[in-house]
Structure 1
Amino acid sequence: MASSSDPKLPPLMKAQFLEAFNKPYVLRSVPLPTVTDPHDMLIKVDAASYCHTDAVLAAGQMRPNPPSFPHIGCHEFAGTVVALPEISTSPFQVGDRVGVPGRAFHPCGTCFECASSPTAEDADADPPGYSVYCPRSQNNGIDAPGGFREYAAVDSRQVAPIPENLSAVDTAVLMCAGVTVYAALKRCRLKPGQRVGIMGCGGGLGHLGLQFAVQMGLEVWGVDNADAPLRLAGEVASGARVIDARNVDATEVVARLGREDGKQDRGDMGLDAVIILPESQDAFDYGVSLLRNHGKCIVVSFPERGFHVSARDVVFRDISIIGSLVGSNKLLRETLQFAAQNNVRAVIRTFPLSRLNDLVAEYHKGRGGKLVIDMALSDGS
């Protein structure tokens, strides 16, 4: 029987536990998880990326489903299959490298969400039998154990094979940040040459979004308001125009576009779509102000108090406000292939598992890019 009781596997593993809100992680040795469900696999975690949602969860702001303690975080990670249950439906084999998103862990397969078929308008949605919106499922790193540990049990239906030219570290950041911003760009429904703005362009999702959008052939405008993220965006965003919101008003950008296009009517001037990544009302307002009439505002962030939406923008300018949670399984695999083929890579700093709290401290400095636990690093790295 190939399982976590396999004699070739160690009896214990190290894992980082969150034991209370607003407290440091605690590193402990615990038994390896078992894999008995036919859909599950045991993987050796090779890299685990830190996401803004990890910070939201640790602060006690993840509502309505806060975790139970002790909790193992991380919902974007990558690893190598090391064991399968005796009866397995997995398409993967021991030795395969896979990327693991937080998405639905053990979806029920029968609720109205799981039973829904993709519509013509949303061909990128999952087929019947799975839905990220399944109300009965769990999510790795959110309300089920995640990737801040040496071994993890994962649902083989929800993971993606890693292309040969992507490392585990590069893959981990694509499992939430990458697929989320890629899916948001797809929801814009733009054609090459159309204009998209990315609010928060120097953050983890933002600097990946800039690269994806440029490679999609879009005219890309990035907006941020802090020195370090703006520098990072400028470094990775060849072909994009990056704006410092502290110095350039949205009306100036719109007027510039009007002059470039020879347009005079305000409704015909501006961007075709914007993606809102920061949890900031100012960022939301700035982004909507960049839109031409009939433009799309794709909302990815979810501030605790929400956003104020101007009814005048919705009614008189026909601005569409569209939420985007994360990509489907189809888009997960598409994101990895697109990144591998177009050399889309995050700017990454790595830490060993034992230094997760140092990583968290670095995250709160707000320097942009992505921070990743690399299991290959030793404590002194």
Structure 2
Amino acid sequence: MATKIPETMRGQFLEAYKQPYQLRTVPIPKPSHPDDVLIKVDAASYCHTDYVLAQGQMPGFPNSFPHIGCHEFAGTIVSHSDHPSPDATRFRNGRRVGVTGRAFHACRECFECQGSTDPIAQDEKGYSVHCTRAENNGISKDGGFAEYSVVDARQLAPIPDNMSAVETAPLMCAGISIYAALKRCQLEPGDRVAIMGAGGGLGHLGLQYATKMGFKVLGVDAADGPLSLAESLDTGARIVDARSEKAADIVDQIGAEDGKRDLGEKGVDAVIILPESQASFDYGMTLLKSHSKCVVVSFPEAGFHVSSRDIVFRDISIIGSLVGSNRTLREMLNFSAEHDIRAVAKSFPLSGLNTLVENYHKGSGGKLVVDMAVDG
């Protein structure tokens, strides 16, 4: 039996930069492109990028106001376009799916879509999350802070049976971002990785992924709430308060543990930078041994200052990481289901999105999620 779709929906709209969201009732969007599917949104997770966008710190985005944010959400497919593509017909109505915001209507023709050399971000020929012509749900077009949303079938990942929509939504950006960053570290089991910002939305998931991947994990943060969250996970990772422990002392301790004497061979094999502060970047670089990798996920408005001496004399490779391919997305979801990896999350009703944002500014760590099943 076909799902009855109402004519209108509620959505939370940004109507200007630096303003609260406004709850409005509007017509439900319709799938028109062959790759389009309409989903009933079941859960929508708040990301730091939602804050950056709302503050006007992403010049040119959104394309226009009013705008529905959220690029990490999950829902149930309820309809297709009149002439669906093979990619769209792979998903039947009623299928539960996770949605990552990139890349809506990837062009199929550009260099990226035709096959770049990036093994982590490249999908089958004809689609790429790095397509420069694509739009992005929640950033350049409407996203998941609404009861319904039109998405590109090529963005979707089936939700494992043992995971809920509320558990899935935070993984559609935070999960795939930190999982892909760990893959870019190119580590072997037993290698050491440090995660700067270990108690945040990405960081606390990274602690779980990294330990399940068999790495020796160092989690670093500099605030009480995130540190408490990181420690509560009981992953076996060493949690460090950067306010009271110097990076150079940590390096010496690791060297002693590993039986290493020379400065260049003491430290971690890779560090992932999640916070936007220069202090965090510098701390992470100090933790690295020579010939290792610094993977940068954050993108502060003013950028980072990088020491040429680290790059030249210590042979540190600095690598950027955004998200992973749809293939990597599905791998991450299945890994999460298999190893019982979940975000520590607090749920709010759609009508409580501004309260959610207030909680975000308290900086307690973890993820904040709109649960459409919660009345309000």
The answer, yes or no, to whether TM exceeds 0.5 is yes
Q: Which amino acid aligns with 1:55?
A: Y
Q: How does 1:4-153 map to 2 (within 5 A)?
A: 8-63=4-59, 65-89=61-85, 90=88, 91-118=90-117, 122=119, 125-153=122-150
Query: What's the offset of the Cα at 1:125?
Result: 2.2
Following the alignment from structure 1 to structure 2, what is the Cα–Cα distance between the partners of residues 101 and 258? 40
Which secondary structure state, in structure 2, belongs to the residue aligned with residue 53 of structure 1? helix
- Aligned match of 2:360 in 313, 338, 363? 363
Aligned to 1:209: 206
Which secondary structure state, in structure 1, belongs to the residue aligned with residue 68 of structure 2? coil
Does the 8 Å contact 1:219/1:240 carry over to 2? yes
Aligned to 1:192: 189
Following the alignment from structure 1 to structure 2, what is the Cα–Cα distance between the partners of residues 35 and 124? 26
Which secondary structure state, in structure 2, belongs to the residue aligned with residue 208 of structure 1? helix
Query: What's the offset of the Cα at 1:38?
Result: 1.5
Which secondary structure state, in structure 1, belongs to the residue aligned with residue 138 of structure 2? coil
Query: What's the offset of the Cα at 1:117?
Result: 4.5
Which secondary structure state, in structure 1, belongs to the residue aligned with residue 162 of structure 2? coil
Aligned to 1:319: 316
Does the 8 Å contact 1:211/1:237 carry over to 2? no
Q: TM-score, with normalisation over the residues of structure 2?
A: 0.97
Query: What's the offset of the Cα at 1:85?
Result: 1.9
Query: What's the offset of the Cα at 1:288?
Result: 0.5
Residue-by-residue CA offset, 1:5-38 (whole Å, 9 max, x unaligned): x8x2111000000000000000000000011211
Does the 8 Å contact 2:11/2:24 carry over to 1? yes
- Aligned match of 2:166 in 161, 166, 169? 169
Residue-by-residue CA offset, 1:206-249 (whole Å, 9 max, x unaligned): 00000000000000000000001000000114210000000000
2:229 paired with 1:232: yes
Q: TM-score, with normalisation over the residues of structure 1?
A: 0.96
Which secondary structure state, in structure 1, belongs to the residue aligned with residue 244 of structure 2? coil
Does the 8 Å contact 2:272/2:296 carry over to 1? yes
Q: Which amino acid aligns with 1:19?
A: E
Query: What's the offset of the Cα at 1:294?
Result: 0.6
- Aligned match of 1:156 in 153, 157, 160? 153
Aligned to 1:345: 342
Following the alignment from structure 1 to structure 2, what is the Cα–Cα distance between the partners of residues 355 and 67? 25
Q: Percent identity?
A: 63
Which secondary structure state, in structure 2, belongs to the residue aligned with residue 205 of structure 1? helix
Following the alignment from structure 1 to structure 2, what is the Cα–Cα distance between the partners of residues 96 and 168? 12
Q: Which amino acid aligns with 1:16?
A: Q
Following the alignment from structure 1 to structure 2, what is the Cα–Cα distance between the partners of residues 370 and 158? 22
Residue-by-residue CA offset, 1:341-365 (whole Å, 9 max, x unaligned): 0000110000000010000010011
Would you say how many aligned residue pairs link Structure 1 and Structure 2?
A: 372
Following the alignment from structure 1 to structure 2, what is the Cα–Cα distance between the partners of residues 41 and 133? 21
Q: Which amino acid aligns with 2:361?
A: H
Which secondary structure state, in structure 1, belongs to the residue aligned with residue 11 of structure 2? strand
Query: What's the offset of the Cα at 1:67?
Result: 3.6
- Aligned match of 2:295 in 284, 293, 298? 298
Unaligned 5+ residue runs, structure 2? none
Moved over 4 A (4+): none
Q: Which amino acid aligns with 1:136?
A: R
Which secondary structure state, in structure 2, belongs to the residue aligned with residue 367 of structure 1? coil
Query: What's the offset of the Cα at 1:102?
Result: 0.8
Aligned to 1:279: 276
Query: What's the offset of the Cα at 1:65?
Result: 4.0
Query: What's the offset of the Cα at 1:123?
Result: 5.8
Does the 8 Å contact 1:117/1:128 carry over to 2? no
Following the alignment from structure 1 to structure 2, what is the Cα–Cα distance between the partners of residues 124 and 309? 25
Unaligned 5+ residue runs, structure 1? none
Cα RMSD after superposing both structures: 1.2
2:264 paired with 1:267: yes
Q: Which amino acid aligns with 2:292?
A: G
Does the 8 Å contact 1:118/1:126 carry over to 2? no
Change beyond 3 A, Cα 1:79–1:141 = same
Does the 8 Å contact 1:277/1:301 carry over to 2? yes
Aligned to 2:304: 307
Does the 8 Å contact 2:53/2:61 carry over to 1? no
